[in-house]
Amino acid sequence: MTTTQDGALSTIRALSHDGNTRHFNDGDVVFRSGESGDCLYGIVSGSVKVDWDEGRMQETLGPGHCVGVGALVEPEHLRYGNAIALGDAELLVMNREQFLFAVQELPVFGLEMLQKLDNRLRNLKARTHAPAVEQVSDPEF
């Protein structure tokens, strides 16, 4: 199944109509690495920068993406990265029970999320396994 960015965003917007959103201003911390997490965030509007490994790896995610999913499925519920709002951002907040209910009632939500996570992992893998480029200095004359 192929879903689109618009499909994922439509689903997140539909789930956000119950008043379970939170506004973040530019630079606000959504969560920090090492914190215990009890929810995931779906990006309704704006952007979120996620970084790992002391900032050496990072990505910027926009509407239709989810962040913090790992804390709901990881046994210790720990955050592995930092998430910071870039500009004003409206985020859907879902705890584990809400997430499981959404996946049960809207299976396409689970499929869209898996597709997005797969694409993110592929992009990160491509960036970390890209061949190193040697810098060549101009020869001195």
**What are the tens digits of pLDDT across the range 85-97?**
999 999 999 999 9
Task: Name the residue with higher pLDDT: 4 or 111.
Answer: 111
Residue 62 lies in a domain: yes
Residue 53 lies in a domain: yes
Computed over every residue of the chain, the mean pLDDT equals 85
Task: Report d(CA 78, CA 92) in Å as an integer.
Answer: 19
Q: What is the rounded average pLDDT of the residues 92-118?
A: 90
What pLDDT sits at residue 125? 83
Residue 130 lies in a domain: no
| pTM summary value | 0.82
Residue 10 lies in a domain: yes
The residue range of the domain holding 40 is: 5-124
pLDDT in tens, 52-76: 888 788 999 999 999 999 888 888 8
What pLDDT sits at residue 131? 61
Q: Which two tokens stand for residue 41?
A: 């965030």
Residue 74 lies in a domain: yes
What lies within 8 Å, CB to CB, of 84 at 6+ separation is: 27, 28, 29, 30, 48, 49, 51
Query: Which among 117, 24, 34 is positioned nearest to 77, based on CA atoms?
Result: 34
| Domains in the chain, number | 1
Residue 135 lies in a domain: no
Instruction: Name the band, by pLDDT with cuts 50, 70 and 90, for residue 132.
Output: low
The residue type at 75: P
Residue 138 lies in a domain: no
Task: Report d(CA 83, CA 70) in Å as an integer.
Answer: 13
Task: Report d(CA 33, CA 123) in Å as an integer.
Answer: 21
Q: Which two tokens stand for residue 108?
A: 């396409």
Residue 103 lies in a domain: yes
Residue 111: CATH number of its domain: 2.60.120.10
